[in-house]
Amino acid sequence: MGNKKKNLIMNLKIRNALISVSNKENLVSLLKTLKKFNINIISSGGTYASIKKLGFQCTEISKFTGFKEMLDGRVKTLHPKIHAGILHDRQNKKHKNEMSKQNFPAIDLIVVNFYPFQKIVLNSKNPKKIIENIDIGGPTMVRAAAKNFSNVIIITSKDDYGSLIKELENLKGKTSLKFRELMSSKAFGLTAYYDAMIANWFNKKLKIEFPERKTIFGKKLQNLRYGENPHQQSSIYVNDYNDKHLKFDQIHGKELSFNNYNDMFASLEILNSLKKNSGTVIIKHANPCGVSENKVPLISFKNAYASDPISAFGSVVACNYRINKKEALEINKNFLEVILAKGFNKDALNILKKKKNLRIIDISNFNLKNLSSIKTFDGSFLIQSKDNIVIDKKKLKCVTKLKPNKKELDEIKFAFNICKYVKSNAIVLCNNFSTIGIGAGQPSRLDSCKIAVQKAKQFQSLKIKSSVAASDAFFPFADGINALIKAGVKIIVQPGGSVRDQEVINAANKAKIKMVFTSIRHFNH
């Protein structure tokens, strides 16, 4: 290709622009710039009326195409004159001849944003209304312009008006190939995002949990300082039709990091499962190191923190209650990274804000949707439904001679619930609806038992006697429960299902403890 042709492609003069936007904000500055460089504007219905109202010249699409829009506006930009104007290759002689023969002018700039499908999904349950807000003409023009970025500039967001204006000013009404290609990549990202939202809406409507082709949509909320480690890059995305925020508000403190978010998500999962009383969850490296339920919020916090105060140093704490002065004073005795709660009164905020870096998060408006769980690896990903099952106390099978009473059954339910949020192999010791020792993430269940016991002996030795131990999967041998029995555990809850179940039951009966089987496994890898 000669230098002259190359330069024509590199810096492209804009003569005609087509603007069709659902969101009509910030148009004035763009229109002023287009007028300055004598760029003709073509537009449709609502956008045409807005541009005229703002005092700028504009040709209506139906006049430009000579074809009146029809089907309640479903067909207006879907016309050969529009798409040939966008798609033809300006360096191709055949294309140029065909365009000249039809008397079709080139359209060099497309400014489009789509019908507000996601907004309608959030505000309406009417399928007909939702489907009517699936944009067809807009994405078609966007894809055409994005494909032909060598010749056409595509703008799909009002946030890019400033960049376009700067480009036109610097290049005197032209755009560079580099800028057009960047806008093209953003455009294809938008059409993929838009289609993914629609596909996911249909899947949800039809109750298809695992479709043949799965698209996961997400909008970047912000870049994070780094990932799990300083040498890793990271960003957080919102996977929701309301993609502006995560439904919790940071009131104070440093910017949230990748690890903060990871721990916060783990804490909110557990917190969502605590329904009965005031609940406090303390998370370190995505594992709970203290969980407690109590009628009194302050006692809930103290009991959760006492479970493992060393691990709780620099942790994330989540509370399903409003923080008042008493809780704030207790919280401030410790070093925490993040505190999440369902509101903070004025005195509490004044106290907590004394710690400059403490991230204070209000979760009053947060509701967990219990979406699927996704794990990715290289060119594949695994999807599964969330482990939301709650044991039915009536279906528990007591396998020992001694049977638990009603209060003990409630404690069993609490312990087994916490167990499912601990990394496998998981052992959780509880007393009076508070964890007192947690053994997490060990390849050997016996090692998890030993760690849970060691933690309890270190911080809660007086509470081991008559405590409840929960295991996320069966005990393959009696060695694990023997370690728990020796420490003072009086009740064990586990799924059962091992070929050596009888050996384990015999050991429990010999020690005169109580054991129940749930028939539910809670692996969490």
Residue 281 and residue 288 in contact, taking contact as beta carbons nearer than 8 Å: yes
Catalytic residue check, 525: no
Who's near 205: CB < 8 A, 6+ residues apart?
127
Structural domain boundaries in the chain: 3-205, 246-362, 393-517
Q: Which of 83, 95, 147, 355 is catalytic?
A: 147
Return the CATH architecture of domain 3-205: 3-Layer(aba) Sandwich (3.40)
Residue 281 and residue 267 in contact, taking contact as beta carbons nearer than 8 Å: yes
Q: How far apart are CA 72 and CA 137, in angstroms?
A: 13
Per the structure block, which two tokens stand in for 228?
A: 């799990």
283 forms bridges with which residues in the sheet? 288, 316
The length of the chain is: 525
Q: How far apart are CA 205 and CA 22, in angstroms?
A: 25
Q: How far apart are CA 321 and CA 307, in angstroms?
A: 20
Catalytic residue check, 147: yes
Per the structure block, which two tokens stand in for 125?
A: 């349950």
- Looking at domain 393-517, what is its CATH homologous superfamily? AICAR transformylase, duplication domain (3.40.140.20)
Q: Hey, what CATH topology would domain 246-362 get?
A: Cytidine Deaminase; domain 2 (3.40.140)
Q: 3-state class of 442 per DSSP?
A: coil
Burial 29-66, CB ≥16 within 10 A → b, else e: ebbebbeebebbbbbbeebbebbeeeebebebbbebbe
Q: How far apart are CA 390 and CA 412, in angstroms?
A: 12
Give whole-number Cα distances, 245 to 45, 68, 189, 319, 365, in Å. Answer: 32, 41, 19, 20, 11
pLDDT given at position 275: 86
Q: How far apart are CA 512 and CA 491, in angstroms?
A: 10
Q: Which of 95, 158, 285, 353 is catalytic?
A: 285
pTM check: above 0.85: yes
Angle formed by the axes of helices 137-147 and 80-87, to 10°?
Answer: 30
pLDDT given at position 122: 87
pLDDT given at position 97: 87
Q: For the chain, how big is the Rg over CA atoms in Å?
A: 31
Full pLDDT tens readout for the chain, 525 residues: 445 455 455 778 899 999 998 888 889 999 999 999 999 999 987 898 999 999 999 998 888 888 777 676 677 777 888 888 998 988 888 988 888 888 889 999 999 988 788 888 888 888 899 998 888 888 999 999 999 999 999 999 999 999 999 999 999 999 999 999 999 999 999 999 999 999 999 999 999 999 999 999 999 999 999 999 999 999 999 998 888 889 899 999 999 999 999 999 999 999 999 988 999 999 999 999 999 999 999 999 999 999 999 999 999 999 999 999 999 999 999 999 999 999 999 999 999 999 999 999 999 999 888 778 999 999 899 999 999 898 888 889 999 999 999 999 999 999 999 999 999 999 999 999 999 999 999 999 999 999 999 999 999 999 999 899 999 999 999 999 999 999 999 999 999 999 999 999 999 999 999 999 999 999 999
Residue 234 phi, psi (nearest 5): -160, 150
Give whole-number Cα distances, 522 to 203, 418, 425, in Å. Answer: 27, 10, 10
Task: Evaluate whether 3-205 and 246-362 have a shared fold.
Answer: no
